[in-house]
Structure 1
Amino acid sequence: MSHVTYLWDDARATALSPADRLVYRSNILGADQRITNTGGGNTSAKLVEVDPLTGRPVRVLWVKGSGGDLRTSTRANFASLYQDRLMQLQEVYAGMSARGVKSPAEDQMVGLYPHCTFNLNPRATSIDTPLHAFVPAAHVDHMHPNAVISVAASRHSERLTREIYGDTVVWTPWQRPGFELGLALLEVVAAHPDAHGVVLGQHGLINWAEDDKACYELTLSLITKAAEYIEARDKGERTFGGQKYAPIDDAARDAVLLQVLPWLRGQVSASAGATADGSQKRMIATLQHDATILRFVNSHDAARLAELGTSCPDHFLRTKIKPLYVAWDPSTGDLEGLRRRLADGLEQYRRDYAAYYEACRHPDSPAMRDPNPTVILIPGLGMIAFGKDKSESRVTAEFYNCAVEVMRGAEAIDEYVALPQQEAFDIEYWLLEEAKLQRMPAEKALARRVVVVVGAGSGIGRAVAHRVAAEGAHVVCADLSEDTAAATAEELTKKYGVGIGVAGSGISGSGPAIGAAVDVTDRASVQRLVRDTVMAYGGLDHVVVTAGIFPTPDATGRVTDAMWRTTFDINVLGGYLVADECRQVWEAQQLPGSLVLTTSVNAIVAKKGSAAYDASKAAANHLVRTLAVELSPLVRVNGLAPATVVQGSTMFPKERVMSSLKKYGIAFDPDASADVLRRQLAEFYAQRTLTRQPITPDDQAEAAYFLLSDRTGRITGQVLNVDGGLPEAFVR
């Protein structure tokens, strides 16, 4: 099958229980984006189970529960309900509401589903449960394949359904998912006993069989029929009216994006409203500029089709009623003209969205949500998708890709039509959907923020990266060593997940963390770091610089002139270069940010044998104050001054540790491991403090998080000592 991937493995399926076979079928269906979109579609199986109360066999509907994704679902993602009780709900509904009319009674039925739960299964069932329960077949697949939605979203979709499938698949007009649609399917099955599927107008495909493998193969064959029908009629570039704007090369495109993205992120974030703590609802970007999306945005018909919006409910819940299309000619290279068009387009989009809300709202509708677009289309540049985090923006981009494919298919075989605005509104502002949003947990302190940590490969920097990631930040782990930076980013990605987007979709990568190499003494290297950050997330919010060096004396015990320069280059110039390059992004975004530079208590406490280090850190302290003045009022700048942190520090190789132990007259075993010797030295340093506790990277990370967070929103130009209490470092 060239239009879908056949993944069923008899050997694997045979070894599974009936319920686990449903999970297996769901996973392999969800693994192919041509079959269903991320988080979309659901599957079910009516299985005979033993009633835990009576010990008798009963028929149980296992159906994918609310939320989750078919590709990654486990058995815990499936609800289980008594089939006979679900059927009895028809009598309850008949006494509550008139048939064929959407009413509060239909939504109230959702509250009755838990009363049908089998074996105390805690998984909340889906709004689509009646679609599965009321179809009498044992196995049901409800998918959102682009090819079939193309048929469902065509002006003459009923005729096309008959032409493609004959009498084996029946067409039904659009109806919002829920109890009424389930009853409509029950009538379809009764009226068409030989049919084994339904094309749901504007929505997708549902089909059934008595055997699970047969159901899976039927799903694939029905999608393939629609895809082959479209392919035979596709007109290539002419399907979208042909090319209107010529593409530009990758370097020119990236240069424009680098200039525009931070400003654009600021525009859609500052006007998106505020979170509960009063800060902006900052957005995270995902870019796409592969051949498929560029064919669309560069075409003659892109503006017309984009204005129509999407069709499938799953699509516009992510992409909103429509994207913002900006008719900019990339061949001009006119950046100011692009900004003007974007600014005008955003203003008009917000007006249009407010008008849409006012025209379609009901007396009990939730308040209007963020009126900014989540998808922006620009010829030559491709698509920019925004979301509250990288996962959401990736999935938003993925969904609009699905919408583009639906438009392509519908335009190839007929004429694309979108869902009517009122129907779209009733889905977007559905009270059940609002209730789901209200149940979402509160966002973490650094949610929606992008934090660059320089020196993240080890020691304090690595601890800071973990600390801010735990607060919901997207973290750019930067280090002189690309390998260690990547290792820290991988640790965070494994812990906090890459989101639910699918690889190979043409959408730019990255998840909650990325690794990047940087030499803070080289402006060009710092510029590459800033570029990589902007292209991954759309901008940046906070920066923590922990990179530093303690110069090693030569054989005579002296620090060479070259090492003096290197020490100042890393400990002072490096912090300045990072701040100076990030400044352009901060100013373009006009979103409050913060910068934390790591200095040292040695900036105040003079010590024998560390003149280069101490002097550089004193300079770094004053750099903190100077940058606080220069970057105000937009960016707060503070310093973090540790005492000696031995644990995990690259500045304390085994040789230096042994040298320090010798200097302080502390006996040690030269054959002991570096970690053992570090603990010995750290304990010695601890005894010189008021708290008598070793200073760890985690102590510094907590302070760094405190300084860059909104908790210290009125603090700037300060240096915070985290030294366990060194009286010598008290400011006099």
Structure 2
Amino acid sequence: MILQFLAPWLYLTLVQRKVEGGRNGWRMMEREFKHVKYLWRDEEVAGLSPLDRLVYRSNKLGEDITLTNTGGGNTSAKLIERDPLTGEEVEILWVKGSGGDLRTAKRDGFASLYLDKVRAMKALYLRHPERGPKTPVEDAMYPLYAHCVYNLNPRACSIDTPLHTFVPYKHVDHLHPNAVIAIAASVNQERLCRTIYGDDVIYVPWQRPGFDLGLKIEQLIKDHPRARGVLLGHHGMSSWSDDDKTCYETALEIVERAARYIAERDRGERTFGGLRYRPISDGERRRIQVEIIPWLRGQLSVERRFVATVQDDERALWFVNSVEGPRLAELGTSCPDHFLRTKIKPLFVDWDPESGDVERLKGLLGEGLERYRRDYAAYYNRCRRPDSPPMRDPNPTVILIPGLGMIAWGKNKSESRMTAEFYNCAIEVMRGAEAIDEYEALDEQEAFDIEYWSLEEAKLRRLPPEKELDRQVAVIIGAGSGIGRAAAHRLSKEGAHVVCVDLDEEAAQRTAQEIVAVRGEGLGVAGSGISGCGPAIGLRCDLTDRRTIARAFEDAILAFGGIDAVIVTAGIFVPPDRAGRVSDEDWARTFAINVTGAYIVADEARRVFERQSLKGGSIVLTTSANAVVAKKGSLAYDASKAAANHLVRELAVELAPLVRVNAVAPATVVRGSAMFPRDRVIASLAKYGIPFDESESTDVLREKLANFYAQRSLLNVPIEPEDQAEAIFLLVSARLGKTTGHIIPVDGGLQDGFLR
């Protein structure tokens, strides 16, 4: 019981284990870490080079999202390398590069600088009488790192490079842990730092990263040689050591001590003042989200389209439903890494979810968006400097709605997912600060000066140009094979987010996984469910069942926020029986899939397009050369495709001017098509008298049939799925943005099918 009356720092010190060796300092045992993940394994680093150990350490820190946000934080090591010109040994500072991510960093993610040259910049900086944070002298130092580059390394270095340079230890870890930032964003942050850490951690009030901050920390370490880390007001923390493993463990120790201090004082739901609104059911939340999110996308995407991430887990709902949620949201975020993504504050819409009144919610959102844009413009005009970059998009990137959760927006799924992740971090920071003290946001002018800092602007300019279909969401029905699969890959290549849909859900998911394997998951924490997806998802639908089609569009909305293009490549061919007749059932099934199914898809898509109210949507159906070339033995199929041709024209009239509707009309596509299983290929080869051996593989048999069909065209070339995918891309893109109601033949030249 006596321990309860001891100072918190003393209590925490009693559970620590001293390590032999003066410079190793304090360190907790692995089993004592409860709030962070201890991931270092000696057997995994054995035999690694010093640089690869830095990569390993960085990856392990990045794997634990409680330690730092995606793309945030940086690590460094001062290593001995061989100069490529002189062959002499030189000391090189390896530091995580600008814009990189600790979790995914590889060797090429680290900048390398001659340490003596970077340190020589100190004299140059001190020579200027007008030096200091946020001065022209400070900003002029960053370009000089280009003169210090080792071995022509093209990776741009971090703005925190001075911190890593002037800390007099070989290894430095700079992180943005929620628990530590909660202390750093409290009103009494300096006192809390002393209480929790004693002399082990130095406190530095908020200051923008740069040379001046690096030199201040250098001096503080001289004044406090026992210190093993620093707490940076409103920013984060750093740890250091001459041993890389100790540096890693010290970082974890600093975070663990903060997290324990908060956990002992957390009041659960009462930390945010308790619930103002009761949670609604999952089904009701989904119903409202599906209705409101595409509408919201249309309101935000006036100039450029946005992609959404929906966060409606327990913690997000706890915050938006709480008494203190509106107050804290209005204060804005604290850590610079957070509001660079989330803007200075989110839009909080005070709506009663129990009413279920969607029209009322739309009214509040409309008013809130208008007010937010005015407020953001006023903020820009209040805080702008003579050399500030032009005002960026004034729309919010985070929207908070009681009952529904958080909706984050970005130019692509990766960016919106990161934005959601960062505001989740902001919520955790507020929770921790409110538990132990009182949350304090960063000063408005300081926030602006970070958001519009010339170095951040330069980072934005280094981003690669957007691709042609960036910011767009394409739903492809039939994506599990053949033309649909090829179209999914083609549109993805141009930056589109792809919703792969097929009757065969596993095939749809395989196509989605292929896209993810090419493009990667993207940055940001994936989270759970559809809202945590990457650039593609795989879903199931049955073209004869409107409910499954509607569900697929709902899932697309929850995954990406809306839709921009819908492509239908799914279809069916039912051959006649041996007497040459088509049963009533097969006739009905053929039209149900090839015509009615396409209509239902377009009708359900129309609902989403109308909610968005964004011009430029596109629907592309797949008809056939058979729609205009009558053939024996395919009566039901040919008639259905002729009907589909006219469906295109009717839909173009119905959906104008919001949506363009067109089609591609292929000749027979054999390779990769689900409509050509092995038995049909063999039947066709036999029908046309093409020699074959049943022992041959299906691919070989398909190739023989495709080559036969090729000889019937003017160009004498097989028609491939990729040929149709190219035409689909053209129709979806702005390249044919003034074309609607047309069918583009991709058939190698069938003169019987020429327009007449």
The TM-score bracket by the shorter chain reads over 0.9
1:40 maps to 2:72:
yes
**Kept after mapping to 2: 8 A contact 1:51/1:58:** yes
Per the TM alignment, residue 48 of structure 1 is displaced from its structure 2 partner at its CA by: 1.9
Counterpart position of 2:8 = none
- Structural mapping, 1:306-705, within 5 Å: 306-504=329-527, 508-591=531-614, 592-705=616-729
Per the TM alignment, residue 355 of structure 1 is displaced from its structure 2 partner at its CA by: 0.4
1:222 maps to 2:221:
no
Alignment deviations for residues 180-234 of structure 1 (CA, whole Å, 9 cap, x no partner) = 1111111211222222211111000012111111111111111111111111111
Rounded Cα–Cα distance in structure 1 between residues aligned with 2:126 and 2:529: 48
Q: Secondary structure at the match of 1:453?
A: strand
Counterpart position of 2:12 = none
**Kept after mapping to 1: 8 A contact 2:130/2:137:** no
**Kept after mapping to 2: 8 A contact 1:97/1:105:** no
Per the TM alignment, residue 507 of structure 1 is displaced from its structure 2 partner at its CA by: 8.8
Rounded Cα–Cα distance in structure 1 between residues aligned with 2:119 and 2:639: 80
Rounded Cα–Cα distance in structure 1 between residues aligned with 2:735 and 2:526: 37
1:76 maps to 2:128:
no
Rounded Cα–Cα distance in structure 2 between residues aligned with 1:503 and 1:338: 28
Counterpart position of 2:23 = none
Q: Secondary structure at the match of 1:618?
A: helix
1:31 maps to 2:55:
no
Counterpart position of 2:11 = none
Per the TM alignment, residue 414 of structure 1 is displaced from its structure 2 partner at its CA by: 0.9
- Structural mapping, 1:230-269, within 5 Å: 230-269=262-301
1:287 maps to 2:315:
no
Among residues 156, 161, 164, which one is paired with 1:129 in the alignment? 161
Consecutive unaligned residues of structure 1, counting only runs of 5 or more, are 274-280
**Kept after mapping to 2: 8 A contact 1:198/1:205:** yes
The number of residues matched between the two structures is 723
Per the TM alignment, residue 465 of structure 1 is displaced from its structure 2 partner at its CA by: 0.5
**Kept after mapping to 2: 8 A contact 1:551/1:563:** yes
Among residues 138, 148, 153, which one is paired with 2:180 in the alignment? 148
Rounded Cα–Cα distance in structure 2 between residues aligned with 1:35 and 1:436: 23
Amino acid at match of 1:207: S
Amino acid at match of 2:380: Y
- Structure 1 range deviating more: 421-430 or 102-111: 102-111
Amino acid at match of 2:716: R
Per the TM alignment, residue 503 of structure 1 is displaced from its structure 2 partner at its CA by: 4.4
Rounded Cα–Cα distance in structure 2 between residues aligned with 1:466 and 1:326: 39
1:186 maps to 2:209:
no
Rounded Cα–Cα distance in structure 1 between residues aligned with 2:365 and 2:515: 35
**Kept after mapping to 2: 8 A contact 1:170/1:199:** yes
Consecutive unaligned residues of structure 2, counting only runs of 5 or more, are 1-32
Per the TM alignment, residue 501 of structure 1 is displaced from its structure 2 partner at its CA by: 2.2
Per the TM alignment, residue 670 of structure 1 is displaced from its structure 2 partner at its CA by: 2.7
Alignment deviations for residues 570-606 of structure 1 (CA, whole Å, 9 cap, x no partner) = 1100110000011010001011200011001111111
Q: Normalised by the size of structure 1, how large is the TM-score?
A: 0.97
Distance 1:503 1:712, change over 3 A: closer
Alignment deviations for residues 280-308 of structure 1 (CA, whole Å, 9 cap, x no partner) = x1111111111111111111110010001
Per the TM alignment, residue 110 of structure 1 is displaced from its structure 2 partner at its CA by: 1.1
Q: Secondary structure at the match of 2:376?
A: helix
Q: Secondary structure at the match of 1:514?
A: strand
Counterpart position of 2:245 = 213
Counterpart position of 2:3 = none
- Structure 1 range deviating more: 25-34 or 53-62: 53-62
Alignment deviations for residues 646-680 of structure 1 (CA, whole Å, 9 cap, x no partner) = 11111112222222222222222232222112111
Rounded Cα–Cα distance in structure 2 between residues aligned with 1:504 and 1:687: 52
Distance 1:23 1:496, change over 3 A: same
Q: Normalised by the size of structure 2, how large is the TM-score?
A: 0.94
**Kept after mapping to 2: 8 A contact 1:288/1:507:** no
Alignment deviations for residues 528-571 of structure 1 (CA, whole Å, 9 cap, x no partner) = 11111111111111011011111122243321111011111111
Amino acid at match of 1:93: Y
Per the TM alignment, residue 629 of structure 1 is displaced from its structure 2 partner at its CA by: 0.3
**Kept after mapping to 2: 8 A contact 1:353/1:371:** yes
**Kept after mapping to 1: 8 A contact 2:228/2:241:** yes
Counterpart position of 2:170 = 138
Amino acid at match of 1:617: K
Counterpart position of 2:323 = 300
Per the TM alignment, residue 259 of structure 1 is displaced from its structure 2 partner at its CA by: 0.8
Amino acid at match of 1:165: Y
Among residues 17, 31, 41, which one is paired with 1:9 in the alignment? 41
Per the TM alignment, residue 46 of structure 1 is displaced from its structure 2 partner at its CA by: 1.2
Counterpart position of 1:65 = 97
Query: Taking every aligned residue pair, what percent have the same amino acid on both sides?
Result: 64
Q: Secondary structure at the match of 2:301?
A: helix
Rounded Cα–Cα distance in structure 1 between residues aligned with 2:370 and 2:526: 34
Among residues 105, 127, 147, which one is paired with 1:115 in the alignment? 147
Counterpart position of 2:194 = 162
**Kept after mapping to 1: 8 A contact 2:133/2:210:** no
Question: Which structure 1 residue ranges, 4+ long, deviate > 6 Å from structure 2?
Answer: none
Counterpart position of 2:54 = 22
Rounded Cα–Cα distance in structure 2 between residues aligned with 1:607 and 1:317: 62
**Kept after mapping to 1: 8 A contact 2:472/2:497:** yes
- Structure 1 range deviating more: 101-110 or 570-579: 101-110
Alignment deviations for residues 73-97 of structure 1 (CA, whole Å, 9 cap, x no partner) = 1111111111111110011112345
RMSD: 1.3
Rounded Cα–Cα distance in structure 1 between residues aligned with 2:520 and 2:36: 27
Amino acid at match of 1:129: T
**Kept after mapping to 1: 8 A contact 2:525/2:532:** no
Rounded Cα–Cα distance in structure 2 between residues aligned with 1:12 and 1:179: 36
Alignment deviations for residues 239-260 of structure 1 (CA, whole Å, 9 cap, x no partner) = 1111111001100100110110
Q: Secondary structure at the match of 1:71?
A: coil
Rounded Cα–Cα distance in structure 2 between residues aligned with 1:60 and 1:717: 63
Per the TM alignment, residue 437 of structure 1 is displaced from its structure 2 partner at its CA by: 1.4
Counterpart position of 1:93 = 125
Per the TM alignment, residue 499 of structure 1 is displaced from its structure 2 partner at its CA by: 1.2
Per the TM alignment, residue 506 of structure 1 is displaced from its structure 2 partner at its CA by: 8.5
Counterpart position of 1:106 = 138
Q: Secondary structure at the match of 1:668?
A: coil
Rounded Cα–Cα distance in structure 2 between residues aligned with 1:614 and 1:178: 70
Counterpart position of 1:712 = 736
Q: Secondary structure at the match of 2:388?
A: coil
Q: Secondary structure at the match of 2:418?
A: helix
Q: Secondary structure at the match of 2:602?
A: helix
Q: Secondary structure at the match of 2:694?
A: coil
